[in-house]
């Protein structure tokens, strides 16, 4: 799943016992003009709003809420999704948004003259939309300063493999953020898709990562999220 707002349209994933394929997600996105809120996920905001922008991988980018939020703050975003319908919708939606340049972290001025004719890239220009299946595709090693997976659920064996390959994509000093539904949210996904952040954190090399895994209250609805944060040591 993606930017977090439970849809009122489209087939539910609660009955599934295997990872949905592209046809499922294309059908689901085609069932409504919009499935998700367009807002960035709150756990992403909580973890990333103070990070220095760099290269970000948005896994399961959906309709683009997280990718837009990151790009608006200066991140170069690779947004991947299994659904070509979602990718096309997200790209069109992001390009239709008014441009907002990221605010500097402090009051210092750039140490170079950008020139009167230079143009700041728009958020849309900072996003590369890519059709990828994370189960069969692996990002380059140590390529991203932030790797974010928001509500992308897979059966347990697949989830372990996904988290392992996402961790390998984190650059030194970078952050892995994996967020999922907690086990009481049976309306959202089938029972085989739930994971515990603590168990996923146990897959990571503690010599390479500082790991935090917790059940964290969701700020905008009842219930909580499973949240894994792993920071690769420089």
- Give tens-digit pLDDT for 140-194: 999 999 999 999 988 888 999 999 999 999 999 999 999 999 987 766 677 788 8
pTM of the model: 0.86
Q: For residue 90, what pLDDT band results from cuts at 50, 70 and 90?
A: very high
Model confidence band, residue 219 (pLDDT cutoffs 50, 70, 90): confident
C-alpha span between 144 and 181 (Å, rounded):
24
What domains lie within the chain, and their CATH numbers? 22-97+123-232 (3.40.50.150)
Kindly give, in sequence order, each residue whose CB lies less than 8 Å from that of residue 122, ignoring residues fewer than 6 positions away.
99
Which 3 state secondary structure label does DSSP give 142? coil
In three-state secondary structure terms, 58 is strand
pLDDT tens, position by position, 95-131? 999 865 554 443 333 343 444 445 688 999 999 999 9
What is the distance between the alpha carbons of residues 147 and 167, in angstroms, rounded to a whole number? Answer: 8
Percent of the chain at pLDDT > 70 equals: 83
What is the pLDDT, as a whole number, of residue 18? 79
pLDDT, position 21: 92
| Tokens, residue 7 | 């849809």
d(CA 138, CA 136): 7
Residue 36 has pLDDT above 80, yes or no: no
């Amino acid at each position: 799943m993606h930017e977090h707002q439970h849809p009122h349209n489209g087939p539910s994933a609660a009955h599934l016992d295997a990872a949905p394929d592209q046809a499922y997600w294309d059908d689901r996105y085609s069932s409504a003009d919009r499935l998700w809120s367009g807002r960035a996920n709150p756990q992403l905001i909580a973890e990333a709003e103070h990070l220095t922008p760099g290269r970000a991988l948005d896994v399961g980018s959906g309709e683009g809420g997280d990718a837009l939020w990151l790009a608006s703050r200066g991140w170069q975003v690779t947004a991947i999704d299994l659904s070509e319908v979602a990718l096309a919708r997200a790209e069109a939606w992001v390009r239709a948004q008014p441009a907002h340049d990221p605010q500097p972290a402090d009051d210092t001025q750039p140490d170079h003259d950008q020139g009167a004719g230079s143009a700041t890239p728009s958020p849309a220009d900072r996003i590369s939309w890519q059709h990828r299946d994370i189960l069969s595709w692996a990002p380059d090693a140590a390529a991203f300063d932030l790797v974010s997976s928001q509500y992308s659920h897979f059966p347990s064996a697949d989830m372990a493999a996904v988290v392992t390959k996402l961790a390998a994509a984190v650059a030194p000093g970078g952050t892995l953020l994996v967020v999922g539904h907690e086990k009481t949210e049976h309306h959202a996904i089938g029972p085989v898709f739930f994971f515990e952040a603590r168990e996923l954190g146990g897959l990571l090399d503690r010599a390479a990562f500082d790991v935090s895994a917790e059940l964290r209250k969701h700020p905008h609805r009842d219930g909580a999220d499973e949240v894994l944060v792993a920071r690769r040591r420089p």
